[in-house]
Structure 1
Amino acid sequence: MPSEKESTSSHISISDDAEAHDNSKSGETPRSSRGWDGKLRVEKKLELANPEALSDPEYSDEEQVLPGEEIDADEDLLDDYPSDTEEIDCVHSRVSSIPSLRLDRFKAVTRLCLRQNTITEIEGLSCVAATLQDLDLYDNLIAHIRGLESLTQLTNLDLSFNKIKHIKKIDHLVHLTDLYFVQNKIQTIENLDGLTRLRNLELAANRIREIQNLEHLTALEELWLGKNKITHLKGLDTLQNLKILSIQSNRIRTISGLDNLPNLEELYISHNALTSLKGLENVHSLRVLDISNNQVESVQGVKHMQNLEELWASYNQIADWHEVEGELRPLTKLNTVYFEGNPLQLKAPGSYRNKVRLMLPQLLQIDATFVRVS
């Protein structure tokens, strides 16, 4: 998620927890600075308002939705906000009706955060349409995308952790650069053709089986598809600007469809069913490769990746020391490797780490431990 810009205007945060905004990594792969799959991260010190969305796959069924506590119009959460405020935060504040917030009082709002409430309908936002750029409705009870017709200035839209089954009625939001649909019930990637400025698309933890309908998103730099039901890598050829592809926890058996991505720098494909790295022969720009938790037996096929800095290969079937040295020693930029859980480590746990260090002297980190520089 883009970092929040400092504002010179007044800004007051309303939340049941003073530390509600502290984002933290979940500990899942990939261990990037963005956490698991970008937006798919939950604050450690603030529970989800609707935790059933994580534990029960059928939570989105209408009959299981409990009515929330609606805030009456005279119970004014926004009393302390000056009329010229640019940012409004109502996190975990039991809001179920956007119109009850009477947003028409605010003429300069650029960011509206209504995370972790019980909102079911997107409504009452036309009054701030002229200025609103960032709308965050993460963790609510929204089942249908509507009410965004007038919000043509939006650059950031977060509808993660809701009940959405279909992507629609956002194609007109042509200024969007960041779009989040993490943890919904979406089965098909669709109706995104008009979003030609989109740089970041997050669709992790849905029910998607096929990568499709992305041809027009030529500005896309990050695509997060982890924890779906995807079986093949395809439909990516036009994404010439793609830098990050995250597709872990799917059903992929072979790597394919990456030959025409000249700018791809990070590939997260852990927790799949890979047995080899065949298919990466023409991928030259990778800095980070995560193949953890597969059935890969060999690292053959990475020697040409002269920009590779991190190789995450834990819990595979890699056993050949000679081959590992031959493939990785020429990679002078390589500074981090993870081989724990492989035969390399399991057969000789006592000498494993020292052997890796001597074999690959360029390393700064082996598994979770930094290499001591003598």
Structure 2
Amino acid sequence: MAVRNQTRSVPALRRESANNEVHPISASEAIARWEKQTGQSAHQAKEIMLNGYYPPINVMDASIEKLLHCEKLSLSTNMIEKIAHLNGLRKSKNFIVWRVFRKSSIKKEDSSNRHSLQQEVLNETLEELWISYNSIQKFDGILNMKKLRVLYISNNQIKDWSEIRHLASVDTLEDLVLYGNPIHDEWKKDEDAWIETVHKLLKSLKKLDGLFLKQDFDN
């Protein structure tokens, strides 16, 4: 069952050269436009939606650190090369970064870092993490999130069962979307077996891939 991103962003102005080439912008530029278009102060806002921005955002600069009151930040569908400058998001409960990474920028020598989420600042507050469609291979940076309830990580590159076993340490996790990863491919013809296998490893789950799980599951 597909889980669709229901968030909306404020449309941004086009930024093109004379030859119609699109030039990406920084987060600080996008935030400045967001403030102008919404009439809100980003420093005080609890919800900032920069998903589907045009021109796309390609750099998370230090302006992100100034979002001190932001509880929900969406940067989905941009061209961001690296998740960075999250130190100010100490109140964030929902972080949405679907389809953000520029796959052309991922180099073999640093792919282990580019394909995982390694941000400790969100460990104490984050309840929902939406990070589908990003070529992520590992759950690094997620395993220490103490309040994480919802994890949407479909259509990435999770392929090892050891990663699922590691995820069991997040005992607050209730809602997981994992389909579209290589680890799911071999189970497509037997979804019941897939659900049973994952649920045995992640006993705290109440939903898997959009389906509610039986709470009297035989462990």
Correspondence for 2:204 = 362
Task: After TM superposition, give the deviation of residue 353 of structure 1 in Å.
Answer: 1.6
Greater relative CO (CA pairs within 8 A, separation 6+):
2
Task: After TM superposition, give the deviation of residue 332 of structure 1 in Å.
Answer: 2.1
Residue 317 of structure 1, aligned match among 149, 153, 157: 157
Question: Aligned pair 1:218/2:60, yes or no?
Answer: no
Q: Distance in 2 between matches of 1:36 and 1:297?
A: 25
Question: Aligned pair 1:28/2:9, yes or no?
Answer: no
Structure 2, unaligned runs of 5 or more: 16-22, 33-40, 103-113
Corresponding residue SS for 1:345: helix
Q: Distance in 2 between matches of 1:315 and 1:237?
A: 29
Question: Aligned pair 1:293/2:152, yes or no?
Answer: no
Correspondence for 2:52 = 227
Comparing both structures, which one devotes a greater share of its residues to helix? 2
Corresponding residue SS for 1:282: helix
Question: Aligned pair 1:255/2:83, yes or no?
Answer: yes
- For residues 302-333 of structure 1, the C-alpha deviation after alignment (integer angstroms, 9 at most, x for no partner) is 1110100000000001011112221x212222
How many correspondences in the alignment?
A: 180
Residues 138-153 of structure 1: matches in 2 within 5 Å?
Answer: none
Residues 183-198 of structure 1: matches in 2 within 5 Å?
Answer: 183-185=11-13
Residues 30-69 of structure 1: matches in 2 within 5 Å?
Answer: 35-37=6-8
Structure with higher Rg: it is: 1
After superposition, the Cα gap between the structure-2 partners of 1:273 and 1:236, relative to the gap in structure 1 and judged at 3 Å, is closer
Correspondence for 1:171 = none
Task: After TM superposition, give the deviation of residue 336 of structure 1 in Å.
Answer: 0.5
Residues 159-178 of structure 1: matches in 2 within 5 Å?
Answer: none
After superposition, the Cα gap between the structure-2 partners of 1:239 and 1:341, relative to the gap in structure 1 and judged at 3 Å, is same
Identical-pair percentage: 22
Paired letter, 1:321: W
TM-score normalised to the size of structure 2? 0.75
CA contact (8 A) 2:24 2:58 kept: no
CA contact (8 A) 1:319 1:344 kept: yes
Correspondence for 2:19 = none
Corresponding residue SS for 2:200: helix
Q: Distance in 1 between matches of 2:7 and 2:168?
A: 29
Corresponding residue SS for 1:353: helix
